[in-house]
């Protein structure tokens, strides 16, 4: 009987860890996409600064 409980506990823990992994994987993907957008925006702003400085 104890082995059945241990197996059930392990299966439940496995499901929980799987859900946690998916949650954090999604968070990481969103953060990476946000970082990529910010890098692109930063490049555009730096290019605009260089352009405006040349006009001075």
Q: How much is the pLDDT for 1? A: 66
pLDDT in tens, 22-41: 999 999 999 999 999 999 99
Rounded CA separation 49/54 (Å) = 9
- DSSP code per residue over 1-56: -HHHHHHHHHHHHHHHHHHHHHHHHHHHHHHHHHHHHHHHHHHHHHHHHHHHHHH-
**Segment 12-25 mean pLDDT:** 97
């Amino acid at each position: 009987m104890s082995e059945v409980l241990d197996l059930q506990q392990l299966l439940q823990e496995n499901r929980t860890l799987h859900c946690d992994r998916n949650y954090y994987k999604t968070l990481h993907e969103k953060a990476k996409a946000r970082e990529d957008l910010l890098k692109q925006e930063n490049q555009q702003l730096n290019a605009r600064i260089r352009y405006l400085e040349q006009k001075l």
